[in-house]
């Protein structure tokens, strides 16, 4: 297991995946909460069976996979349902993340968290990917066709930009060119290598 963990967070549509993919391309192990969340609700999983029992068979696609868009629209319209789902999935997601970090052999690892403003005790340094809210909304709409009211509800449920930035050790402002992002990630990578090597 690597001894140094960098936390990565940001609001929906801020570009967390674009940033984490660049770290992965540099050989860094990435433990991603969104990927873990998809993994634990795979077809045939116990967690998916519990979700189906709670929300009904309509929450599945015809192939038996979870209809993520329908679930997202529902839970962000009904906060109590979102809290129920979070309580169900939190433990299994954390177990997957810990397993990924435990198996990491890179000099440091990246722990990608959904959009939280909290700080896990696993994390040594926190990186926040930031973008203006209007740009976040445009990206999400273009990415998955979510309705504006669903996007607004998701953003409202997430910690504010101010709250995220307050916990940041490092910030990537992601409203420029792809090449800008490459340079920012490379600079931070070199910095994190130094931190990891010096404990």
Alpha carbons within 13 A on the beta-carbon side of 51: 31
Answer yes or no: is pLDDT of 51 > 90: yes
CB atoms within 10 A of CB 60: 18
Mean pLDDT of 97-122: 86
For residues 193 and 107, is the Cβ–Cβ distance under 8 A?
Answer: yes
Nearest to 114 by CA among 9, 5, 6, 7: 9
pLDDT digits (tens, 9 = 90+) for 174-196: 998 888 999 999 999 999 999 99
pLDDT digits (tens, 9 = 90+) for 162-177: 988 999 999 999 998 8
Residue 191 confidence (pLDDT)? 97
pLDDT digits (tens, 9 = 90+) for 62-95: 999 999 989 988 998 898 999 999 999 999 999 9
Answer yes or no: is pLDDT of 199 > 80: no
Instruction: Kindly state the helix (H) or strand (E) to which residue 173 belongs, with its residue range.
Output: strand 170-173
Mean pLDDT of 35-64: 95
DSSP per position, 89-149: HHHHHHHHHHHHHHT--SSSEEEE-SS-----TT-SEEEEEE--HHHHHHHHHHHH---HH
**Which domains does the chain possess?**
5-197 (3.40.50.300)
Nearest to 41 by CA among 62, 59, 23, 17: 59
pLDDT class for 116, splitting at 50, 70, 90? low
Nearest to 47 by CA among 29, 66, 71, 28: 66
């Amino acid at each position: 297991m690597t001894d140094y963990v960098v936390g990565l967070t940001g609001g929906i549509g801020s570009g967390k995946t674009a940033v984490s993919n660049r770290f992965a391309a540099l050989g860094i192990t990435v433990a991603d909460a969104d990927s873990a969340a998809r993994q634990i609700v795979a077809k045939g999983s116990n967690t998916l069976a519990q979700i189906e029992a709670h929300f009904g068979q309509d929450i599945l696609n015809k192939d038996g996979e979870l209809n993520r868009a329908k679930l997202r629209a529902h839970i962000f319209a009904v906060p109590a349902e979102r809290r129920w789902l979070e309580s169900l999935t939190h433990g299994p997601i954390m177990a997957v993340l810990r397993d990924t970090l435990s198996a990491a052999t890179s000099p440091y690892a990246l722990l990608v968290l959904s959009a939280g403003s909290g700080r896990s005790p696993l994390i040594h340094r926190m990186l926040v990917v930031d973008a203006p809210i209007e740009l976040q909304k445009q990206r999400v709409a273009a990415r998955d066709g979510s309705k504006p009211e669903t996007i607004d509800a998701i953003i409202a449920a997430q910690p504010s930009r101010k709250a995220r930035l307050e916990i940041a050790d490092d910030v990537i402002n992601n409203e420029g060119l792809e090449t800008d992002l490459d340079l920012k990630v490379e600079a931070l990578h070199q910095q994190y290598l130094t931190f990891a090597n010096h404990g």
